[in-house]
Amino acid sequence: MIRGPIRRTRRWSAALAILGVLGGVAVAPFLPTASATGLPIDPLKLLNGEDDSAGRHVLQRERSRWVAAAWNELPGWGQDRALEWWPAMLRGCEKPMPGWTAICAQARGFKPGGDWDAMVWLMKRLQPYRVESPEGQREGVATGYYEPELAARRQSQGDFRVPLLAPPQDLTQRKPYDTRQQIESNAALSRLSLAWVQDPLDALVMQIQGSGRLRVTERDGTSRWVRLSFAAHNEQPYRSMGQWLIAQGELRATEASWPGIKDWGRRNPQRLKEAMWANPRYVFFREEPLPDLAVGPRGGQGVPLTPGRSIAVDKASIPYGTPVWLDTTEPLSTTPMRRLVMAQDTGAAIVGAVRADYFWGWGEAAEAQAGRMKQPLRLWVLWPKEAGSAGAATGPAGGGKVTR
């Protein structure tokens, strides 16, 4: 990912010096907590405008605190291919979150000529903040997710006997709804099937990931690509099948990746339902056309996810639509992975200040990377410098990987 490291290091040293951030912390100006009408405009609660013990400006969110940082504190800053990230930012700007309208308007009118142009543009407008827990913990965990690609049939036939269901009509009338075991044992619900797949674990993976691409064979024998996206769930708690297998002594913690779980399922078909039913949550889908195979599923922000440039976060720590500098490592490796990403999705298992689920895309390579990723993580958010631009609502409800 690093192209011409000596030249780029020298250029970035010059740029940082020009922007006045090489020798110290660039502190964002005080952000007003009320508008002219007296109504709050900044859901980020300033700590009475106070700095931390090192004199750095601090912003507090529900599950995190942000500490102002200098650009040269971001590991690897200046070595990313920012042009690859730019489309993800523009997609986020299709539904700008409070505080980002002005920045997004400027972004839509700017066409960076290279990685250098994009990063300098960011440095002029945004202030980096280190993300940590309210107690000051700076390190967390990065995991990965992807969009499964499966063969499917429009009707049950042959090996295709596992249904993917649309929401039942009485779903909203009973909360919580039936458990996974009750739903999968109720043959009458098969009338709600949108499509049928072969492997129950593939269906479970689709529910956990929140969407999937299906190559569906129709009743007339023709086939086409469609996407099944999250529609609702049964309001039951999510329980990790991997954690259940560890507790049962079936897998060691190092083996409880999706490849390991799938392998266990193939070796223990007689216990597969028991393991799956340990997770009472069940996800229902809606069908969407898939005219462009290069476009990702919509995340919690309501915009398409970009492989390698979108992450799922805890909305109580980082709002949707926020640029994030991610410092982690490749799956099963110590090779650094440092890059710009956008907070554009969420998930029930994505909880905590320094927590990210990295979207790898779709296909076999994405599945392999996502299934093995559980890496140490540090995060920095990039936030508008201008006073009054720090509004950070958590974004629209719905969507997202609410099963995770």
Residue 114 falls inside a structural domain: no
CA 322 from chain centre, in angstroms, equals: 12
Examine residue 342 and state whether it is found in any structural domain, yes or no.
no
| Residue 301 is assigned to a structural domain of this protein | no
Residue 284 inside a domain? The answer is yes
Instruction: Report how far residue 356's alpha carbon sits from residue 5's, in angstroms, rounded to the nearest whole number.
Output: 27
- Domain of 264, CATH number, reads 2.40.240.50
Instruction: Give a yes or no: residue 126 inside a domain.
Output: no
pLDDT average per 10 residues of sequence, the chain (404 residues): 36 43 35 32 36 76 96 96 97 93 96 95 97 96 96 96 97 95 96 96 92 95 95 94 96 88 94 96 96 94 97 97 97 94 92 97 93 95 69 36 42
| pLDDT at 110 (0 to 100) | 96
Residue 190 lies in a domain: yes
C-alpha dist (Å) from residue 384 to 31, 239, 308, 335, 381: 10, 38, 23, 31, 10
Q: Answer yes or no: is 152 within a domain.
A: yes
What is the per-residue pLDDT for 254? 86
Residue 248 is part of which domain span?
A: 148-289
Total count of domains within the chain: 1
62 lies in a domain? no
For residue 258, the model assigns a pLDDT of: 84
